Structure 1
Amino acid sequence: MTGTIGRVALVTGASSGIGAATAHLLASRGMRVVVNYLRNSGAAHEVVAGIEAAGGQAMAVQADVREAAAIASMVDQVQATWSGIDVLVHNALIPYAIKSFQDMTWEELGGKLNDEMHAAFAVTKAVLPAMAEQRWGRIIYIGTGLSKRPRENMIALGTAKAALEQFARYLAQELGPQGITVNIVASGPVEDTRLADEFDDAHKQRQVAATPLGRLAHPADVAQAVAFYASEDNAFMTGTTAAVNGGMSMY
C-alpha cells in the first residue's frame, strides 16, 4: 500500500456502517480521510476521533450529496486543508421505499432513481478535475447484489443501484485513459447497517442459511474490498464489480 500514503479519500455517508468501517481502514493504511455525513455530527466526529487516536488523519465535513452546492462547499473545504481528492468512495445511502411495485408510486420509484443518480453524478463531477489533472484517481461506488438478484419489496433500491453500476462502467471506459479507475463493491446483506435493521431475525436467518460462508457480511468485510480498489495495488482493474456476499450469489 506504499503509494497510498498521504492520499486524500472522501467517503460519503461515513458516520456509521460501511462508510465508517471504510474510513477507519483507509486511514489505517495511511490515507487522509474526509468523513462526510448528512445529519449525525456526533457520530461523524466520533469516527474522526477514533482515526486520530489510532494515529491517522481525518476531518468531518457535513454535506447533502444530493445538492451540488453542498458538495462544492465540501470539496472547497478539503482543498483548503489537504488539496485535491484522490479517492472517492461513494457510499451515502439515499432514502427509498421498501414496498411492492403494486403499492409503489412513481414519486417513490422515480424519486429514488433521480436522487441516487444525481448524487453520484454531482459528487463525481466535483472530484474529477483534480484526479484528471494529476492523471490518477480511484472511484468506488457502493452497490448491492439486489441490482442483479431481485428480492421482495426492494425494487426501488435494486433498480437505482443497477443504474448506478452501469453508470460506473461507462465512467470506467471514459476515464481509464486518464489513469482513473472506477469500480463497484456490491454487498449482500450487511450486519450493523440501517437496512439490516429493517428485517426481523427470521428473515436474517434465512439469509444466513442461503450463504455458503455461514454468516452475513460485516461492514469491515465490505471495507476490505473498497480498500483494495482504492489502493495502488489495483493497477489494472476497472469497470468491475466485487461481490461481497459470502457466496449468497455468484456472478
Structure 2
Amino acid sequence: MTGATGRVALVTGASSGIGAATARLLAARGMRVVVNYLHSGQAAEEVVADIEAAGGQAMAVQADVRETAAVETMVERVGSAWGGIDVLVHNALTPYAIKPFQEMTWEELGGKLDDEMRAAFVVTKAVLPAMTEQGWGRLIYLGTGLSRRPRAGMSALGTAKAALTQFARYLAQELGPQGITVNVVEPGPVADTKISQVLDDEQRQQQVAATPLGRLARPDDVAQAVAFYADEDNAFMTGTTAAVNGGMSMY
C-alpha cells in the first residue's frame, strides 16, 4: 500500500470475522488500526496482539457504535494517541431478527433499520471533521448481497443494508469535493462469521453449488476488497459497490 504508513484506520466490530481480518490486513499494509468492539474485549485484544506480533500498530477500544457519546469518546482517545482517523471501515453488525415478514413485528424491522442507520450516522459524523480538515479520507461500509438478492427470513438485514448502501452513495456525492471517497463492500455468504452460523449444511452446499468459484467467501477475501478501497492510490473510485461473492450474483 503506497504511502499508507501512519494512516489511522478505525474498524468497527473488529474483534472477529471480517472486521478482525480487515484490521490485520490494514495493519500489515502500514496503517495504525483501531480495533473497535462492543462485548468481546478479550478477542479484540488478541487481534491487537496478532498485529503487534507481526510488527504493526493497533489499539482495542470499546464503544457501542450506536451511542454518540461512546463513539465521540473513542475518537477522542484515538486522537490523543494518534491524531485524526483517516480511514473508516464500518463493519459492526447490530442484532436482527431472522423470520418471515408475516411473523415480524415493526419493532424488529424498524428497530434494525434504526440501529443500522444510527450506527452509520454516528460513526461517520465522528470521523468526518478530521477528514474534511485535511481534505483526504476513506469511508468504507460493509453491506450484504442480501440487499439485492433476497433470501428467506432475511428481510430485516437485507432492507437495512440496502438503506446503508444508498446512504453511502449520497455521502459519496456530497463528500467528493472534499477529497473523501465513499464505497461499499457487499459480501455474499461468508464462512467463519456469525451470519454464517444461521445456515445449515444443506443450505451451505446449495450456496457453494451456485458459486462459480466453487466455495464461500472467507473473511480474508472480504478484507482484500476493503483494503483496495482504503489504499492511498485508489483515488478515483467513489460511490461504488464491490460484490465479494465468487460470482454467485453478478451485477
TM category, shorter: over 0.9
Superposed, 1:162-241 pairs within 5 Å as 162-241=162-241
Q: What is the aligned partner in structure 2 of residue 45 from structure 1?
A: 45
Quote the Cα distance in structure 2 between the aligned partners of 1:141 and 1:235: 17
What is the CA distance between 1:198 and its match in structure 2? 1.2
State the SS of the aligned residue for 2:143.
strand
Letter of the 2:73 counterpart: S
Quote the Cα distance in structure 2 between the aligned partners of 1:117 and 1:152: 23
RMSD: 0.4
Residue 132 of structure 2 corresponds to residue 132 of structure 1:
yes
Quote the Cα distance in structure 2 between the aligned partners of 1:29 and 1:61: 21
Quote the Cα distance in structure 2 between the aligned partners of 1:192 and 1:234: 29
What is the CA distance between 1:3 and its match in structure 2? 1.6
TM-score w.r.t. the length of structure 2 is 1.00
Quote the Cα distance in structure 1 between the aligned partners of 2:36 and 2:232: 23
What is the CA distance between 1:2 and its match in structure 2? 1.9
**After superposition, what is the alpha-carbon deviation per residue over 1:70-121, rounded to whole angstroms, capped at 9, x for unaligned?**
0000001000100000000000001000001000000000000000000000
Quote the Cα distance in structure 1 between the aligned partners of 2:134 and 2:6: 15
Letter of the 1:150 counterpart: P
What is the CA distance between 1:124 and its match in structure 2? 0.1
What is the CA distance between 1:39 and its match in structure 2? 0.3
Residue 76 of structure 2 corresponds to residue 76 of structure 1:
yes
Q: What is the aligned partner in structure 1 of residue 141 from structure 2?
A: 141
Quote the Cα distance in structure 2 between the aligned partners of 1:233 and 1:103: 47
Quote the Cα distance in structure 2 between the aligned partners of 1:182 and 1:85: 15
**After superposition, what is the alpha-carbon deviation per residue over 1:216-247, rounded to whole angstroms, capped at 9, x for unaligned?**
00000000000010011211000000000000
Percent identity reads: 79
Q: What is the aligned partner in structure 2 of residue 18 from structure 1?
A: 18
For structure 2, which runs of at least 5 residues remain unmatched after alignment? none
TM-score w.r.t. the length of structure 1 is 1.00
Residue 155 of structure 2 corresponds to residue 159 of structure 1:
no
Quote the Cα distance in structure 2 between the aligned partners of 1:49 and 1:189: 28
Q: How many residues align?
A: 251
**After superposition, what is the alpha-carbon deviation per residue over 1:162-206, rounded to whole angstroms, capped at 9, x for unaligned?**
000000000000000000000000000000000101111111000
Quote the Cα distance in structure 2 between the aligned partners of 1:160 and 1:248: 21
Letter of the 2:233 counterpart: D
Quote the Cα distance in structure 2 between the aligned partners of 1:52 and 1:5: 15
For structure 1, which runs of at least 5 residues remain unmatched after alignment? none
Q: What is the aligned partner in structure 2 of residue 27 from structure 1?
A: 27
- Structure 1 runs (4+) deviating above 2 angstroms are none
